[in-house]
Structure 1
């Protein structure tokens, strides 16, 4: 039982640490770019979005870039700038 609890605690801290890496400043939602408009901008840049979601105070996408590489990118929803990205090599 203690081992199970320890594993659960480690997993919860690990997932919190992963989110901490993609830190977007808290902004009022009315300042955020509209999701549909933001998705359209990304599509125009060549991204193929498989999944789009709000992750904390960030927009997050999973999909492919214009070169076909698999991507996971967190964006500041106000500025639209990436704050963290994982791109397949």
Structure 2
């Protein structure tokens, strides 16, 4: 019985990690030196002032990734250039 649980657990773990890899798609922000990046707190203030409700923010190698509800209330995953705060589309 244990032999069946381990493969099922491994498959579930693989499916979860593969799903997160697909979430990013082909989003590529311009590469800027880290010292040119504005803080993610500044981005949060900007988006909140525009009506976004931020759930979570993360830093990728070249972007800020934001999980939020946009001003229309739609759940969204968006990427922003950390130097200009321009939204980067896939």
Select the structure that is richer in strand.
Answer: 1
TM-score (norm 1): 0.71
TM-score (norm 2): 0.70
Structure 2 residue runs without a partner (length 5+): 1-10
Which residue in 2 is equivalent to 1:22?
27
Instruction: Quote the Cα distance in structure 2 between the aligned partners of 1:38 and 1:30.
Output: 16
Q: Does 1:45 align with 2:32?
A: no
Instruction: Quote the Cα distance in structure 2 between the aligned partners of 1:20 and 1:27.
Output: 20
Distance 1:19-1:46 versus aligned 2 partners, 3 A rule: same
Distance 1:68-1:19 versus aligned 2 partners, 3 A rule: closer
Q: Which runs of 4+ in 1 moved over 6 A?
A: none
Q: What's the CA shift for 1:18?
A: 5.6
